[in-house]
Amino acid sequence: MDFSEIINYPYPDTAVENDITECLNSGKYLPSYAFHVQQYLTKRINHFAPYVNDAKYQAHFVFMQDFNLQNLDPFIAQTLKVKKPIRKKYLTEKLKKDIPANMAGSYVFSIPGDDDKIHIIVGLGYHDNPLMSVYDGIKAFMYTMQRRKIYAEYFENINRQRWMWRDGGMNDSRIEQMLKATNFNYEKVSKIYQTYSTIQADVGAGAYLLIKAMQTGSQENILKVEDFVLSHAAANSSGLIDNNNGTAACEFPVMQKMINLIKQNGISVYVDAQGWVNWETLYNHTLAETKNIGYTPHMMIDANKKEGVLLKSLDKQYPDRKQLLNILKWTPEGKTDKILQDFITAQEFSLQHPLPNNNLQSFYSSLANPETRKTAAGDKKFNFLSNIKQYRQVLESKLYSY
């Protein structure tokens, strides 16, 4: 399947309903389009892996639905080269929890093996539809490159200390307390890293989709992808209010600039003669634009306490988003604060270009994790789905696990 087919893959409600029925009956979350996405991403994995793997790092790409969570020992001991019993126990428990939780998306986690390599687990899943699933997959590629690119030496030392404490029996909550107490800049660097890594991964994935759309030569495909990535970036800006994501939610200006640069300058710098994307160039350009977002370290560190608190207060007073934006524009902060100005621009775009409201696909994605399947499916936003009562009745009578 080529990229044009990914963009235009038909996934009508009847197909989604069939997938939901199959999931409820078998317990297995596996969209009917999964094979095509897996085939597409596998070819890219084979091309991407040499950009990451070297004497120090080894990435392992796994489609999460194929994980045998009941027998992880071969993967942990033989693939990841992890032999220490306490480390194996920790990783087994973590994967059994994290893989189902991220089944409708992607997952990246690294661990030092006994072969002195840093092994990166790259879990790939399926989210809503084929295009979104490829987008999430490429985001995982970007997160994988970041392991050896963004403050790598700093976080290698931090993670070395973290694993020493884990091996000594310390839990993750206590480890975080210790890291904050023994590394005076740990919290600051972590917040800056969160902004750079989150934005770069999204912008890298969005830029990749646009490059592939431009390769098809179809203006319709280009416009579809441009609207897709910009609408998602704009919608993500709500994370500054809703999820305490701080400046990690502020990807829209970077995405918009990167999309415009690629459309203006063409794709030749990003692809070789055979049409393969140069992952190093894509990564470097999107990281450079991310770092040029115009936020100082203190702005990134204080965003939740400053802009986030202000927006939460306004959101309580003005739950209508358009009214909130009109009020915000006239505040002293809205006139001078770049984070708030970027938020206004992103939210106005989001109001004009709302994400497709496909609650049936969202409902199906909510079934991915068997541990939270019943609770997620009970969300009142799904109440108006035509078959929701039947779906919930089936869920009540089932006991699922991976």
| Tens of each residue's pLDDT in the chain, 402 residues | 799 999 999 999 999 999 999 999 999 999 999 999 999 999 999 999 999 999 999 999 999 998 889 999 999 999 999 999 999 999 999 999 999 999 999 999 999 998 989 999 999 999 999 999 999 999 999 999 999 888 888 888 898 899 999 989 999 999 999 999 998 898 999 999 999 999 999 999 999 999 999 999 999 999 999 999 999 999 999 999 998 899 999 999 999 999 999 999 999 999 998 999 999 999 999 999 999 999 999 999 999 999 999 999 999 999 999 999 999 999 999 999 999 999 999 999 999 999 887 889 999 999 999 989 999 899 999 999 999 999 999 998 887 766
- Residues in the chain, overall count: 402
Q: Which residue has the tokens 């541990």?
A: 371
Q: Which residues contact 333 (CB under 8 A, 6 or more apart)?
A: 307, 310, 340
Dist. CA 169–CA 164, nearest whole Å: 9
Dist. CA 233–CA 127, nearest whole Å: 16
| Token representation of residue 144 | 């994988």
Q: Burial-class residue 233 by CB neighbours within 10 Å (0-12, 13-18, 19+).
A: buried
pLDDT score, position 148 = 86
Q: What are phi and psi of 127, to 5 degrees?
A: -130, 110
Measure CA 170 to chain center: 28
Distances (CA, A) of 377 to 301, 389, 396: 36, 10, 11
pLDDT score, position 401 = 67
Contact 76, 91 (CB under 8 A): yes
Give the predicted TM-score (pTM) of the model. 0.94
Dist. CA 35–CA 281, nearest whole Å: 29
Give the CA radius of gyration of the chain.
22
Closest C-alpha to 249, from 187, 298, 300, 321:
300
pLDDT score, position 402 = 63
Give the strand pairing for 118-124 and 106-112.
antiparallel
CA angle 86, 88, 89 (to 5 degrees): 65
Q: Which residues contact 196 (CB under 8 A, 6 or more apart)?
A: 150, 287, 290, 291
DSSP assignment string, 211-237: HHHHHHT-HHHHHHHHHHHHHHHHHHT
Classified as helix, coil or strand, 110 is strand
Classified as helix, coil or strand, 63 is strand
Q: Which residues contact 293 (CB under 8 A, 6 or more apart)?
A: 199, 247, 250, 253, 254
Q: Which residue has the tokens 């035509």?
A: 386
Give the CA diameter of the chain.
60
